[in-house]
A and B are shown apart, each in its own frame.
Chain A
Amino acid sequence: MLRRTLLLGLCRGPLGRGLGTHRGGSILGKVEGRGGYRGSWMAPSSSSVTFRTQDPAHDVKTVGRLGGGDRDGKMSEIKKKIQSILPGGDWNPLYDTSYLPPESSDVVIVGGGVLGLSVAYWLKKLEKPRGAIRVLVVERDHTYSRASTVLSVGGIRQQFSVPENVQLSLFSIDFLRNINEYLAVADDPPLDIQFNPSGYLLLASEKGAAIMENNVKVQRQEGAKVCLMSPEQLRNKFPWINTEGVALASYGMEHEGWFDPWCLLQGLRRKVQSMGVLFCRGEVTRFVSSSNLMKTASGEEVNVKRIHEVHVKIDQSLEYQPVECAIVINAAGAWSGQVAELAGIGKGPPGTLQGTKLPVELRKRYVYLWHCPQGPGLETPFVIDPSGTYFRREGLGHNYLGGCSPTEEEEPDPGNLEVDHDFFQDRVWPPLAQRVPAFETLKVRSAWAGYYDYNTFDQNGVVGPHPLVINMYFATGFSGHGLQQAPAVGRAVAEMVLEGHFQTINLSSFLFSRFYSGEKVQEHNII
């Protein structure tokens, strides 16, 4: 056993350097080993067993008779040390590294929000042999205090103008309905997604009526159950609405409403963990990549990059762990622009593909919760005014949730999540009270702010690989409807990674290359 320890002591230096973590300035940190290394050392050898069964008193006596007082002390000291080293002892030459991510993983997903988890779920679900892919999810904030997922109002609708968005949403509603089949974990209670099937009511002014009619045509073609209503019909159905300035309304009869985002997130987390996906609390600080100069068919030279390592910095520490990986998935939501920049996306002469940035920005949006005893009743759908103001019922006690997107000029500073209450007074309340006269007497109970992963280019998602950083895939930029489309987007990204093309829903119009070619996927219904 003693020889074993010595041996270990000798080889630990060079061995550890090759395997271990890099710790800011400390050499000791480099000896942190991985499971395999520690495992071999923990295995009980026959020598250690015999050592432990020896009578300690007898041993000391013999040594004392032979050597004398000084040696006697040393020997017992050595013995103590050896005993503490033995398995089960309190001294461990290796640091506890269980909080560190593994040194290699096939897929690293940056961002553990609902989109990142959904990609992880579908990767594990669609992999051919079970356990074929090692997936690591890196999430900075495990309390999800700033994550867009849990700060959203949780709506799901099919009333989009782009057919892909309708398809994504229809797939997702099916996922949510069968959530206990998809996300069942043995021995865990079933999920209660708390879906309110109350529908969305979109109102259009004279100007927007034609667009709305076209949109509804598209939505119906894709299989959404949406009907058009005249102001007269609207008044009959919802007498509390003031139809002044409303030329047309579209109302979702089925598959639309709102649900509990926290439940979906936790359900995905639980399921994904049971499928063997690894989680790590940390932040991605660096990508180590190599680049190759290549020529396109037309003779243009392009710099094709490949990411080899992701540096994951541990939360509240200087420690970081390089994770070797084959594929990186950028699902960092509102912060995905920064992650893309870390990978060198957008660093190049402007106007080239290399210089095209991921146009996803952080935008702050407020949600207000108010109480109004005279307000509309149980039948209240998710109402969206032509002015962009929206509200929905919350629970049974005449409480309502709502808000409004600010204009480009009055975009608030996204540095913190503080709520501007004047915004409600000036921008949200006037159109609200105009649309629903009962809301003239309301009382704001609380408010919060959340982030949009706002795509400044065309307010639509970015899905699929980057054309130059060939192993970075995107699942971001959904500008406020990421939560409701997450189950479908996760599947699309997983298909792209595993099969190389989209299978269920063709999202090729959502690829990154549209930012370079300038083809906008125009969505008219963004709130």
Chain B
Amino acid sequence: MAAPKASLHLVAPVWNGGTRGIGGLSRVVAPEGNQKKGRSLLQFLADCFYDVEALRDHLLRKQVSKVHQKNRFQGREWIRPNQRGHFSLDFLKLQAVPVEAVDASGCAINYQGLDSLLALKELQSLWLQRCPHVDDWCLSRLHPLASSLQELSLAGCPRVSERGLACLHHLWNLRRLDISDLPAVSSPGLTRILVEEMLPSCEVLGADWAQGLKLGPEEQPRDTAGPTPA
């Protein structure tokens, strides 16, 4: 990413298993391709022996710490809370530095918590994958980011439905949108087509078109305000 000199990338402070965290940073670290060969053997051994599993965990942790040491933003390490859970006061010096990307994957961010993200006027990428509390109400709040936001991922959010996706049309600058694996969307294929229609200049990742089309009659919208409620 061609980030300007004074930019800041934030990730969720918890490294849950390292999967998303490292994956998200793979652009910065050396690609993991060369490790692929050994991985299946390591996986097999890890399944059989506890020692190997522990060793692998250790390696992973070492790799993560390497990431921390290598990636300094403006000469700083990752900004994380100290042992007592407080952020160092140096953090305040970075207030003027614009934030370009936020990876809040798996984060327990909710409607109120979005306040802090909406203040970021130069936010270009926002990952909200598998956030359990992100719902349609949250999506309706994203419109202040419209002019800067280019990439948004909502994959795996259990509470996002097509009703919330409909108001993403505010984000006219969006180039990439990930709406795959949303269990609350009733007909994913049709929804994807409609979202693509709504945001013509945006690449939409999501369910296969045929997925919803096979459902046939179930695509018909439910008449929620109909005269004969159940």
Q: Interface residues, chain A, CB within 8 Å of chain B?
A: 144, 150-154, 177, 194-199, 253-255, 257-258, 260-262, 369, 377-379, 393-397, 399, 401, 446, 448
Residues of A contacting B223 in the complex (Cβ-Cβ under 8 angstroms): 369, 394-395
Known A377-B198, A378-B197, A378-B198; contact A399-B166, beta-carbon cutoff 8 A: no
What's the nearest-Cβ distance from chain B to residue A438, in Å? Answer: 13
Known A197-B163, A262-B229, A377-B197; contact A399-B137, beta-carbon cutoff 8 A: no
Residues of A contacting B143 in the complex (Cβ-Cβ under 8 angstroms): 253-254
Known A254-B141, A378-B198; contact A397-B166, beta-carbon cutoff 8 A: no
- Pair A396/B187 contact, Cβ less than 8 Å: yes
The residue on A at minimum CB distance from B228 is A448
Residues of B contacting A258 in the complex (Cβ-Cβ under 8 angstroms): 225
- Pair B221/A253 contact, Cβ less than 8 Å: no
The 3 closest A-B pairs by CB, nearest first: A395-B221, A197-B140, A448-B227
Q: Is B170 an interface residue (CB 8 A)?
A: yes
Q: Is B162 an interface residue (CB 8 A)?
A: yes
Residues of B contacting A394 in the complex (Cβ-Cβ under 8 angstroms): 221, 223-225
Known A197-B136, A197-B164; contact A379-B198, beta-carbon cutoff 8 A: yes
Can you offer 13 A-B residue contacts whose CB atoms are under 8 A? A177-B111, A194-B163, A194-B224, A196-B136, A197-B137, A198-B167, A369-B226, A378-B162, A379-B167, A395-B222, A396-B186, A401-B225, A448-B226
What's the nearest-Cβ distance from chain B to residue A147, in Å? Answer: 10
In the bound assembly, the distance between CA atoms of A163 and B121 in angstroms comes to 31
Residue of B111, B169, B222 with most partner-chain A CB within 10 A? B169
In the bound assembly, the distance between CA atoms of A258 and B136 in angstroms comes to 13
- Pair B137/A177 contact, Cβ less than 8 Å: yes
What's the nearest-Cβ distance from chain B to residue A94, in Å? Answer: 37
* Selected contact of B169 from candidates A257, A260, A379, CB within 8 Å: A379
Residues of B contacting A257 in the complex (Cβ-Cβ under 8 angstroms): 140
Categorize the interface residue count of chain B: 20 to 34
In the bound assembly, the distance between CA atoms of A255 and B167 in angstroms comes to 12
- Pair B194/A396 contact, Cβ less than 8 Å: yes
Q: Is B129 an interface residue (CB 8 A)?
A: no
Q: Is B180 an interface residue (CB 8 A)?
A: no
Q: Is B177 an interface residue (CB 8 A)?
A: no
The residue on B at minimum CB distance from A154 is B225
Q: Interface residues, chain B, CB within 8 Å of chain A?
A: 111, 136-137, 139-141, 143, 162-167, 169-170, 186-187, 190-191, 194-195, 197-198, 219-227, 229-230
Residues of B contacting A261 in the complex (Cβ-Cβ under 8 angstroms): 225
* Selected contact of A195 from candidates B137, B162, B186, B194, CB within 8 Å: B137
Residues of A contacting B195 in the complex (Cβ-Cβ under 8 angstroms): 378
What's the nearest-Cβ distance from chain A to residue B10, in Å? Answer: 25
* Selected contact of B194 from candidates A154, A194, A378, A446, CB within 8 Å: A378
Known A177-B111, A261-B225, A448-B227; contact A397-B220, beta-carbon cutoff 8 A: yes
The residue on A at minimum CB distance from B186 is A396
The residue on A at minimum CB distance from B167 is A197
The residue on A at minimum CB distance from B165 is A378
Residues of B contacting A154 in the complex (Cβ-Cβ under 8 angstroms): 224-225
Residue of B137, B162, B163, B194 with most partner-chain A CB within 10 A? B163
In the bound assembly, the distance between CA atoms of A144 and B191 in angstroms comes to 33
In the bound assembly, the distance between CA atoms of A418 and B26 in angstroms comes to 65
Across chains A and B, the number of contacting residue pairs, with CB separation under 8 Å, is: 89
In the bound assembly, the distance between CA atoms of A255 and B143 in angstroms comes to 12
Residues of A contacting B186 in the complex (Cβ-Cβ under 8 angstroms): 396
In the bound assembly, the distance between CA atoms of A210 and B223 in angstroms comes to 37
What's the nearest-Cβ distance from chain B to residue A169, in Å? Answer: 15
- Pair A152/B164 contact, Cβ less than 8 Å: no
In the bound assembly, the distance between CA atoms of A134 and B186 in angstroms comes to 43
- Pair A253/B137 contact, Cβ less than 8 Å: no
What's the nearest-Cβ distance from chain A to residue B29, in Å? Answer: 38
Residue of A177, A197, A261 with most partner-chain B CB within 10 A? A197
* Selected contact of B170 from candidates A144, A196, A253, A401, CB within 8 Å: A253
The residue on A at minimum CB distance from B164 is A197
In the bound assembly, the distance between CA atoms of A363 and B173 in angstroms comes to 46
In the bound assembly, the distance between CA atoms of A194 and B162 in angstroms comes to 10
- Pair B165/A153 contact, Cβ less than 8 Å: no
What's the nearest-Cβ distance from chain A to residue B115, in Å? Answer: 13
In the bound assembly, the distance between CA atoms of A523 and B100 in angstroms comes to 44
Extra pairs beyond A196-B166, A378-B166 (17, CB < 8 Å): A144-B229, A152-B225, A154-B225, A177-B111, A195-B163, A197-B136, A261-B225, A377-B194, A378-B162, A379-B198, A393-B166, A394-B225, A395-B220, A396-B162, A396-B190, A396-B221, A448-B227
Residues of A contacting B225 in the complex (Cβ-Cβ under 8 angstroms): 152-154, 258, 260-262, 394, 401
The residue on A at minimum CB distance from B224 is A260
- Pair B227/A378 contact, Cβ less than 8 Å: no
In the bound assembly, the distance between CA atoms of A150 and B225 in angstroms comes to 7
In the bound assembly, the distance between CA atoms of A177 and B139 in angstroms comes to 13
What's the nearest-Cβ distance from chain A to residue B195, in Å? Answer: 7
The residue on B at minimum CB distance from A450 is B227
What's the nearest-Cβ distance from chain A to residue B133, in Å? Answer: 12
In the bound assembly, the distance between CA atoms of A254 and B167 in angstroms comes to 9
In the bound assembly, the distance between CA atoms of A261 and B166 in angstroms comes to 20
Residues of A contacting B198 in the complex (Cβ-Cβ under 8 angstroms): 377-379
- Pair A199/B222 contact, Cβ less than 8 Å: no
Residue of B137, B164, B219 with most partner-chain A CB within 10 A? B137
Residues of B contacting A393 in the complex (Cβ-Cβ under 8 angstroms): 166
In the bound assembly, the distance between CA atoms of A260 and B191 in angstroms comes to 20
In the bound assembly, the distance between CA atoms of A177 and B140 in angstroms comes to 12
What's the nearest-Cβ distance from chain A to residue B144, in Å? Answer: 9
The residue on A at minimum CB distance from B137 is A177
- Pair A399/B221 contact, Cβ less than 8 Å: yes
What's the nearest-Cβ distance from chain B to residue A235, in Å? Answer: 14
- Pair B169/A397 contact, Cβ less than 8 Å: no
- Pair A379/B137 contact, Cβ less than 8 Å: no
What's the nearest-Cβ distance from chain B to residue A106, in Å? Answer: 32
Residues of A contacting B197 in the complex (Cβ-Cβ under 8 angstroms): 377-378
Residues of A contacting B229 in the complex (Cβ-Cβ under 8 angstroms): 144, 150, 262
Residues of A contacting B137 in the complex (Cβ-Cβ under 8 angstroms): 177, 195, 197
* Selected contact of B221 from candidates A199, A255, A397, CB within 8 Å: A397
In the bound assembly, the distance between CA atoms of A144 and B227 in angstroms comes to 10
In the bound assembly, the distance between CA atoms of A379 and B167 in angstroms comes to 6
Residues of B contacting A254 in the complex (Cβ-Cβ under 8 angstroms): 140-141, 143
In the bound assembly, the distance between CA atoms of A103 and B108 in angstroms comes to 51
In the bound assembly, the distance between CA atoms of A154 and B225 in angstroms comes to 7
The residue on B at minimum CB distance from A369 is B223
The residue on B at minimum CB distance from A173 is B137
Residues of A contacting B139 in the complex (Cβ-Cβ under 8 angstroms): 197
- Pair B227/A198 contact, Cβ less than 8 Å: no
